[in-house]
């Protein structure tokens, strides 16, 4: 099988209606890296439905499909894609995501001397308005600091704004699959940082996360269950981070407390002043204590 420079991996779950549109975004980005070979690997995670594999006339883009034997969930679908891909660099792109025409070009420039390239992006709300994911360069720089993932949470909205050197992906993430969807990307970032993999960042916007109202992150109960599961995997497999793990336990309880109507945010933050400091620093202090 021919080696590729970049592998874009997209798990597909009842997602045929997304693929033609996503192909257009991928093709526009691939055109701007004509010296690189790119593969788009579709992983069908709903084998009861046949995936209509799109076709492309772009010479440096190939499209392949693999079918899971049964529904395995987002992380295992991504892992299966990684195990089957041939690219040196990986972009994990969801079926309802969008990337800019310069996305691959920006990532390739950034990742030459790094293991992970993180860019800025937008969240597209249901009313089609766009909001920048990182409002300041300081927020984006925080993605390279492991502490923020424990004091605040997953500050990277989606893997679609991240390119990863395939050889840098930790074996723990490839071998320890979450039973509940949602927090596998948080686990990936903290494992990479715990292994001292180098992150490089760019304030350029290359990505749009579509908030459809049905994203996994919208299901708060499932998300917290997945987050606690990811934290336990990290705790059991990575040494030297017990204090940060305890911080994240408090952070989870803090946010859960916010969701109760009778809980006062300021009072809860005052009881967790170290977390409040990180939130203030991330927000740029002027935005007060609320996340």
Domain boundaries, the chain: 1-96
Per the CATH hierarchy, to which homologous superfamily does domain 1-96 belong? Spore Coat Polysaccharide Biosynthesis Protein SpsA; Chain A (3.90.550.10)
Task: Specify which residues 234 forms β-bridges with.
Answer: none
Residues in the chain: 291
Per-residue model confidence (pLDDT) at position 264: 81
- Range 76-102 average pLDDT: 97
Q: Say what the pLDDT of residue 289 is.
A: 42
Task: Give the mean model confidence (pLDDT) for residues 240-259.
Answer: 92
Query: Tell me, what's the pLDDT at 252?
Result: 92
Tokens of 117: 């390239």
Task: Select from 175, 61, 196 the least CA-distant residue to 115.
Answer: 196
Please state the rounded mean pLDDT for residues 15-28: 97
Annotate 38-77 with DSSP letters as a single string: EEEEEEES-TTS---------TTEEEEEEE-SS---HHHH
Here the tokens at position 56 are 């492309």
- Tell me the average pLDDT of the chain: 92
Mean pLDDT for the stretch of residues 243-267: 85
| Backbone phi and psi for residue 262, each to the nearest 5 degrees, phi listed first | -90, 5
- Segment 198-249, tens digit of pLDDT: 999 999 999 999 876 555 445 778 888 999 999 999 999 999 999 999 999 9
What mean pLDDT is predicted for residues 63-72?
A: 96
Mean pLDDT of 89-105: 97
pLDDT higher than threshold 50 for residue 141: yes
Q: How confident is the model at residue 288 (pLDDT cuts 50, 70, 90)?
A: very low
- Give the span between the Cα atoms of 128 and 77, in whole angstroms: 29
- Provide CB contacts within 8 A for 182, sequence distance 6+: 216, 217, 219, 222, 223, 225, 226, 227
pLDDT of amino acid 261: 55
Using 50, 70 and 90 to split pLDDT, how confident is the model at 154? very high
Task: Name the pLDDT band for 290 (thresholds 50, 70, 90).
Answer: very low
- Average pLDDT in the 125-130 region? 88
- How many C-beta neighbours within 10 Å does residue 267 have? 9
pTM: 0.93
Residue-level pLDDT at 220: 77
Q: What is the largest CA-CA distance in the chain?
A: 60
Query: Residue 102 pLDDT > 90, yes or no?
Result: yes
Mean pLDDT, residues 164-186: 97
């Amino acid at each position: 099988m021919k080696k590729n420079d970049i592998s874009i991996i997209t798990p597909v779950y009842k997602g045929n209606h997304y693929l033609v549109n996503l192909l257009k975004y991928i093709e526009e980005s691939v055109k701007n890296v004509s010296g690189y070979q790119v593969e788009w690997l579709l992983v069908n995670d709903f084998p009861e439905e046949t995936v209509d594999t799109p076709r492309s006339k772009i010479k440096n883009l190939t499209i392949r499909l693999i079918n899971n034997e049964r529904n395995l969930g987002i992380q295992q679908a991504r892992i299966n894609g990684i195990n089957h891909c041939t690219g040196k660099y990986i972009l994990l792109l969801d079926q309802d995501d969008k990337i800019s025409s310069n996305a691959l070009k920006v990532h390739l420039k950034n990742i030459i001397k790094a293991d992970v390239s993180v860019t800025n992006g937008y969240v597209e709300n249901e009313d089609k308005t766009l909001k920048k994911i990182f409002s300041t360069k300081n927020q984006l720089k925080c993605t390279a600091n492991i502490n923020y993932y424990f004091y605040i949470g997953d500050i990277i909205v989606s893997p679609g704004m991240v390119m990863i050197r395939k050889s840098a992906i930790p074996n723990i993430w490839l071998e320890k699959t979450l039973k509940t969807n949602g927090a596998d990307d948080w686990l990936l970032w903290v494992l990479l940082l715990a292994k001292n993999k180098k992150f490089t960042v760019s304030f350029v916007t290359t990505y749009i996360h579509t908030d459809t109202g049905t994203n996994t992150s919208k299901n708060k109960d499932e998300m917290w269950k997945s987050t606690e599961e990811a934290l336990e995997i990290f705790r059991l497999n990575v040494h030297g981070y017990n204090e940060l793990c305890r911080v994240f336990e408090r952070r989870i309880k803090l946010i859960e407390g916010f969701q109760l109507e009778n809980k006062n945010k300021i009072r809860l933050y005052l009881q967790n002043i170290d977390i409040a400091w990180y939130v203030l620093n991330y927000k740029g202090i002027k935005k007060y204590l609320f996340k």
